[in-house]
């Protein structure tokens, strides 16, 4: 089949590489326009574009997927099938109808759970034990198309969103290749989603990272690992904004302090009282605008006394 591949970030690269190495015929790669990135705001290619160039595959970068000139350019490549992996734009009906075999999508959740733009982060934040990859056929309603195949992945207690994204990108690549081959052979069987079971994974904002010390320690631990590497969980102490990067739950503890109160602050130990008399241990922290510090180094440069409070939620 002639395949049009839509994708932009690192998550999409293993899928594109799997199709190329598997001998599939990628006639065009569609990715987001080049944009300034990093502190120097240097304009660089997306990782998907770099992979396409390396493999001598034509690239299209429309500002808007609904533009007529993009539709005309894509039509010239005559794709039989479209594949979407974290492209970053909603495809209009005209594009969805263009390939005779439709357009399929690699979604990083076990649909109908966690429809939306942030399924990986939201699953970790919710403390889910399992997630996975779902291959669906795209329709106009977001992430609501029929299921072509699924694969499950167990989430470990300390796995963060960055780790999970890398694991799911590889799982997604494997499932995509087998699904594409099933479509080519006419062996796929579509299963409608049970829309009554659907949950939504809204876009992550910086405010999602604000730690509410009245939440229990496990909820906050899940928040911290769910928001790594970005935008990261944060709290304040003495007017200084602190990014909290690595934590654990003190399961054997029963705190006598109040939420946000520091119970221990010496050596490698920084323990904070949370809701329901639980205790969160902080292992890595980053004062905003400065480098990441293990707790011993942080405490050496930031004297903290037990009994002090991190930002108290009103």
* HSE toward the beta carbon, residue 71, CA cutoff 13 A: 11
Mean pLDDT to the nearest integer, 140-150: 97
Lowest mean pLDDT among 32-46, 96-110, 131-145, 148-162: 32-46
CA dist., res. 228 & res. 249, Å (int): 17
Whether pLDDT at 252 is above 80: no
Whether pLDDT at 255 is above 90: no
Q: Are 236 and 213 in contact (CB under 8 A)?
A: no
Give the 3-state secondary structure of residue 47: helix
Given the candidates 3.40.50.300, 3.10.25.10, 1.20.120.420, 3.40.50.970, the CATH classification of the domain at 206-301 is 3.10.25.10
Sign of torsion over alpha carbons 113, 115, 121, 125: negative
pLDDT of residue 7: 98
| Long-range interactions of 60-63: CB distance < 8 A, separation 24+ | 60/28, 60/29, 60/30, 60/31, 61/30, 61/31, 61/32, 61/33, 61/34, 62/30, 62/33, 62/89, 63/33
CA dist., res. 296 & res. 68, Å (int): 58
188 is written with which tokens?
Answer: 């796929």
CA dist., res. 232 & res. 7, Å (int): 25
Residue 139's pLDDT band (cuts 50, 70, 90): very high
Whether pLDDT at 3 is above 70: yes
pLDDT of residue 313: 55
More confident residue, 200 or 255: 200
Whether pLDDT at 251 is above 90: no
Residue 253's pLDDT band (cuts 50, 70, 90): low
pLDDT in tens, 21-72: 999 999 999 999 998 776 677 777 899 999 999 999 999 999 999 999 999 9
Whether pLDDT at 314 is above 90: no
Kindly report, as residue ranges, where domains of CATH 3.40.50.170 are found in the chain: 2-197
Q: Are 135 and 105 in contact (CB under 8 A)?
A: yes
pLDDT of residue 256: 86
Q: What global pTM score does this model have?
A: 0.94
Residue 254's pLDDT band (cuts 50, 70, 90): confident
pLDDT of residue 19: 98
Return phi, psi of residue 296, to 5°: -60, -45
CA dist., res. 275 & res. 220, Å (int): 10
Kindly report, as residue ranges, where domains of CATH 3.10.25.10 are found in the chain: 206-301
pLDDT of residue 41: 73
Whether pLDDT at 312 is above 90: no
CA dist., res. 41 & res. 255, Å (int): 46
- Using DSSP bridges, classify how beta strands 59-60 and 25-30 pair: parallel, antiparallel or unpaired: parallel
Mean pLDDT (the chain, rounded): 95
pLDDT of residue 43: 75
CA dist., res. 296 & res. 51, Å (int): 42
Find residue 294's DSSP bridge partners. 284
Classified by CATH at the fold level, domain 2-197 comes out as Rossmann fold (3.40.50)
pLDDT in tens, 174-204: 999 999 999 999 999 999 999 999 999 999 9
Q: Compute CA 53 distance to the chain's CA centroid, rounded to the nearest angstrom.
A: 25
């Amino acid at each position: 089949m002639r395949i049009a591949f839509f994708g932009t970030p690192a998550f999409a690269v293993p899928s594109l590489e799997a199709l190329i190495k598997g001998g599939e015929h990628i006639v065009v790669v569609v990715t987001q326009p080049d944009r300034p990135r990093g502190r120097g705001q240097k304009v660089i290619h997306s990782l998907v574009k770099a992979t396409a160039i390396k493999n001598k595959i034509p690239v299209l970068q429309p500002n808007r997927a609904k533009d007529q000139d993009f539709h005309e350019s894509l039509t010239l490549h005559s794709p039989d099938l479209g594949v979407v992996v974290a492209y970053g734009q909603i495809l209009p009906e005209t594009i969805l109808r263009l390939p005779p075999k439709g357009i399929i999508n690699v979604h990083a959740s076990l649909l109908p759970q966690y429809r939306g733009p942030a399924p990986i982060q939201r699953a970790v934040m919710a403390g889910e034990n399992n997630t996975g990859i779902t291959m669906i056929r795209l329709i106009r309603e977001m992430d609501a198309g029929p299921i072509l195949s699924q694969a499950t992945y167990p989430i470990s207690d300390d796995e963060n969103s960055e780790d999970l994204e890398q694991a799911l990108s590889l799982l997604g690549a494997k499932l995509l290749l087998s699904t594409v081959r099933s479509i080519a052979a006419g062996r796929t069987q579509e299963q409608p989603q049970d829309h009554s079971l659907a949950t939504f994974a809204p876009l992550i904002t910086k405010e999602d990272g604000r730690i509410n010390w009245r939440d229990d320690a496990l909820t906050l631990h899940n928040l911290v690992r769910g928001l790594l590497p970005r935008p990261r969980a944060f709290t304040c102490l003495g007017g200084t904004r602190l990014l909290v990067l690595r934590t654990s739950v003190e399961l054997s503890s029963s705190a006598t302090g109040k939420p946000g109160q520091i119970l221990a602050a010496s050596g490698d130990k920084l323990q904070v009282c949370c809701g329901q008399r639980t205790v969160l241990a902080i292992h890595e922290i980053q004062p905003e605008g400065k480098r990441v510090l293990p707790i011993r180094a942080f405490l050496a440069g930031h004297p903290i006394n037990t009994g002090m409070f991190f930002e108290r939620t009103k």
